[in-house]
Structure 1
Amino acid sequence: MTETVLLDRRDEIAVLTLNRPEKLNAWTHAMRERLIGHLRELDEDPACRGVVLTGAGRAFCAGQDLAETAAIRPDDHAAAEAWIDDFDRLYRAVREMRKPTVAAVNGVVAGSGFQYALVADLRIGHAGVTMGQPEVASGIPSITGIWAMWDILGRAKTAEFALTAQLVDGVEAHRLGLLTRLVPENEVLDAAVAQARAIAELPPGAVALTKARLRELDDEALAQAVTAAKKIHAAAYATGEPQREMARFLAGKQN
């Protein structure tokens, strides 16, 4: 079986790669569990000084594999809530790293994959990236997405992204602050590793304490977003609309 999350070492920097390129690295519960395990282990590993997050092939991560969530029954509130808990645990695993995290953003970055990129400390991408929050187009309310975008984009742009399902290219993403830096496409991964290494060379205690304070500033907002997402997603799935829209999308891909 193909490993869906790859771990590579570049000296003191670990590179975690989502590895379902044929699905644009759309992830499943099992992938998130594997990724969380790697992140926890790397945070405790003294040989690791920083982590780079990326994706194989033409995408960083296209978000949730809709074939998995389309099967949630309208009356299965527990499944809808467990799905949100998955992402809460993943985002916290990235945010709670004491070591620097840098997203090497390539290709498509959408939905929960977009949110995953935004919880990294820094994001390096290229002009051809397409980033956004198209969840409403699949009948999925954008709740944790609002939280992830808010401090970067502010209310007006967050509302625009969440309600229009638009995607922007790397140049616009950089202008808006969604990307920290733009480099040529073939240099993205190396630049992200170099950035992680540069931060890792700074005094680690100061880096860890600074990261902790940055996390503290919006930790309560994340907790509130997760609570709201559980309630709102359960209500959305109860109507059957997400399941219908996801089934329509999947049927279109097969034709």
Structure 2
Amino acid sequence: MQAFVLSEVRGPVGILTLNRPEVLNAWNAPMRARLVEALDALEANETVRAIVLTGAGDRAFGAGQDLNETKTFDPDRAELWMGEWERLYDRLRSLSKPLIAALNGVAAGSAFQVALLCDLRIGHDGVTMGQPEINSGIASVTGPWIMREMIGIARTIDLTLTGRMMDADECFRIGLINRIVAKETVMEAALALATELAGKPPVAMRLNKARFREVTEESFRECLKAGIRNQREAYATGEPARMMEEFLAKRAARKTA
């Protein structure tokens, strides 16, 4: 059975790797659940003082939601799907230890959101990031919430409605990537930063992170309620399934061309 998330510990740093490289580390329910479990374990491990999250392979941190899963949803399953994201996002937001994203290629849709929920992001000049969910018929709610908190409403509207992807330079200019390094040194740089943060006073680190969560908690809960409402309405119309089938067909045609 495939291990959807790999976990290891190097000194004071835990490393988690999203491990579905054959589909660019796209999310499915087992990978979401396994990531929560792995984060729980590192949070409980007193020797671990910082965490790095990355994706397997050299093409993607994560391509977002696996459309082969969501294209079959009905409104009830869509609501359960939102609950799965709530559990993962809650776990990310409640960590007492600093979390660094080591970006290796594409970070799209929900993988983009997970990257933004990390405390710091290190990438290379080939990284692309964005919220292309509209192109596959998925209404965005959690994405606009976290983007608005970080880059403001104007850019959030642009990225949500166009579905365009940003290159690494744009991401760096607007603060979504904190450091750009050579592609082959992304993990090395992420581990160095994680080791530095692991040496910070742990009580102050925990309290600082808890305060960041507090100031965004009300808007986070509101966006989850809106997400359930919007996904139920969207899936009841059948539009997401039609758009996902069309998107997957076009992608398959490009691969065989």
User: Which stretch of structure 1 is more off in the superposition, 188-197 or 114-123?
Assistant: 188-197
**Number of aligned residue pairs:** 252
Matched, 1:59 2:57: no
> How far does residue 214 in structure 1 lie from its aligned partner after superposition?
0.8
Return the alpha-carbon distance in structure 2 between the equivalents of residues 196 and 96 of structure 1: 18
Show the counterpart of 2:45: 45
Show the counterpart of 1:225: 223
Return the alpha-carbon distance in structure 1 between the equivalents of residues 85 and 181 of structure 2: 29
Show the counterpart of 1:25: 25
Return the alpha-carbon distance in structure 2 between the equivalents of residues 13 and 183 of structure 1: 20
**Structure 1 segments unaligned to the other structure (5+ residues):** none
Alignment of 1:63-74 (within 5 A): 63-73=64-74
Return the alpha-carbon distance in structure 1 between the equivalents of residues 189 and 219 of structure 2: 31
Return the alpha-carbon distance in structure 1 between the equivalents of residues 114 and 38 of structure 2: 15
1:103 maps to a residue whose letter is: A
> How far does residue 106 in structure 1 lie from its aligned partner after superposition?
1.1
Return the alpha-carbon distance in structure 2 between the equivalents of residues 193 and 92 of structure 1: 24
Return the alpha-carbon distance in structure 1 between the equivalents of residues 113 and 236 of structure 2: 24
Question: Secondary structure of 1:124's partner?
Answer: strand
Return the alpha-carbon distance in structure 2 between the equivalents of residues 105 and 176 of structure 1: 16
Return the alpha-carbon distance in structure 2 between the equivalents of residues 184 and 34 of structure 1: 30
1:96 maps to a residue whose letter is: S
Show the counterpart of 2:95: 97
Question: Secondary structure of 2:88's partner?
Answer: helix
> How far does residue 167 in structure 1 lie from its aligned partner after superposition?
0.2
Alignment of 1:109-128 (within 5 A): 109-128=107-126
From 238, 241, 244, the equivalent of 1:243 is 241
Show the counterpart of 1:234: 232
Per-residue Cα deviation, 1:190-210 (whole angstroms, up to 9, x for no partner): 111111111110100000000
Show the counterpart of 1:85: 83
Return the alpha-carbon distance in structure 1 between the equivalents of residues 141 and 179 of structure 2: 27
Q: What TM-score comes out, normalization by structure 2 length? A: 0.96
Question: RMSD of aligned C-alpha atoms?
Answer: 0.9
Identity %: 48
Question: Secondary structure of 2:242's partner?
Answer: helix
Return the alpha-carbon distance in structure 1 between the equivalents of residues 27 and 109 of structure 2: 11
1:242 maps to a residue whose letter is: P
> How far does residue 180 in structure 1 lie from its aligned partner after superposition?
1.1
Show the counterpart of 1:252: 250
